[in-house]
Amino acid sequence: MIKALNISHFYGKEQVLYALDLEIKKGEFVFLSGDSGSGKSTLLSCLSTLLSPSEGELFLEGQRVDDIVDIDTFRQNKIGFVFQFHYLINYLSVFENISLAALQDKKPNINALLKELGILDLASRYPNEISGGQRQRVAVARALINEPIVIFADEPTGSLDSRNSTLVYELLSKAREKGTTVVLASHDLHVQEYATQMIKMRDGKIQ
Ligand SMILES: Nc1ncnc2c1ncn2[C@@H]1O[C@H](COP(=O)(O)OP(=O)(O)O)[C@@H](O)[C@H]1O
Ligand SMILES: [Mg+2]
C-alpha cells in the first residue's frame, strides 16, 4: 500500500529524516510514535504527498508518487487527513463542512456517514456550537467522506481529553476494520491499544 525507499528530508541545510525505508500494508493501523522533534510530522507529510522528500522514492498503491500527473486529484480521491486542529470552517455547518470536502458523487453519503459515526445530531450545528471532541469527530468524518484508501492523522487528539481521544481512536479503528489504512502520529501511548503496527522515530530515524 505504502512503500518508502531511502527517504531523506532536509529543511534548508538541516537534515531531519535519514534514509528511511518502510512498508505499510493495506488495512494496518500504524502508530507513529517518538519524541517531539523526532520527525513524525515531516515523515507523515512525505508519506501523504503534502511534502516532497528531498531524497528517496515513495509508492502508493504501487504507483510511484513522482509519476502521478495530477497529484491534487489523486490526493483528494485517495487520502484523508486529520490534524491536531480541526480546520473546520466556522461559518459553515457540520454538514456543509463535510459537503465542501466531498467529491460530487460522495455528497449523497454524508448523512449516512454522520449516522454511522454517531454524530448525525450535529449536522446542522456550527463548529463553535459543539465541543472540541465533537469537532474532532467531525474532522474524522470529513476525512472519511471520500472513502480514502488511507487516512493520515497527525496528533489528532493533541488537544483532547482521554475520553474524547478514545472516541476518535474508535472511529479510526472502525474505518480500519472496513479496509482503510490508518497512519497516526501521536505522543499518546494509548494508541497502542488500537494499532497493528508500530513505527518509533528517534532523531529522524526509525528505531
Ligand atoms: N517547516 C520547517 N522548517 C524548518 N524546520 C522544521 C520544519 N518543520 C519541522 N522542522 C524541524 O524538523 C525536525 C522534525 O520536526 P517534526 O517533523 O515536526 O517532528 P515531530 O512531529 O516528531 O515533532 C525538528 O527539528 C523541527 O524543528
Ligand atoms: Mg509533529
β-bridge partners, 64: 59
Which ligand 1 atom is nearest residue 35's CA?
22
DSSP state of 93: -
Domain membership of residue 163 as a residue range: 26-49+69-206
Does the residue 13 lie in any domain?
Answer: no
Does the residue 78 lie in any domain?
Answer: yes
Ligand 1 centroid distance, CA of 186 (Å): 14
C-beta separation of 150 from 182 below 8 A: yes
Residue 86 pLDDT:
83
Q: Whose CA is nearest to atom 8 of ligand 1?
A: 42
Which ligand 1 atom is nearest residue 38's CA?
22
| pLDDT tens for each residue of 145-200 | 999 999 999 999 998 999 999 999 999 999 999 999 999 999 999 999 999 999 99
pTM of the predicted structure, to 2 decimals: 0.95
CATH of the domain at 108: 3.40.50.300
94-101 and 132-144 helices cross at what angle (nearest 10)?
Answer: 30
Low-confidence ranges of the chain (pLDDT < 50): none
Residue 66 pLDDT:
94
Does the residue 176 lie in any domain?
Answer: yes
**Total count of domains within the chain:** 1
Ligand 1: residues whose CB is within 6 Å?
11, 16, 34, 36-42
Tally of residues, the chain: 207
Does the residue 35 lie in any domain?
Answer: yes
Ligand 1 centroid distance, CA of 38 (Å): 8
Q: Whose CA is nearest to atom 6 of ligand 1?
A: 11
Residue 163, classified by CB atoms within 10 Å of its CB into exposed (0-12), middle (13-18) or buried (19+), is exposed
Does the residue 189 lie in any domain?
Answer: yes
Which ligand 1 atom is nearest residue 155's CA?
21
C-beta separation of 148 from 156 below 8 A: no
Among candidate residues 171, 164, 202, 180, the one with its CA nearest the CA of residue 1: 180
Does the residue 18 lie in any domain?
Answer: no
Does the residue 10 lie in any domain?
Answer: no
Does the residue 39 lie in any domain?
Answer: yes
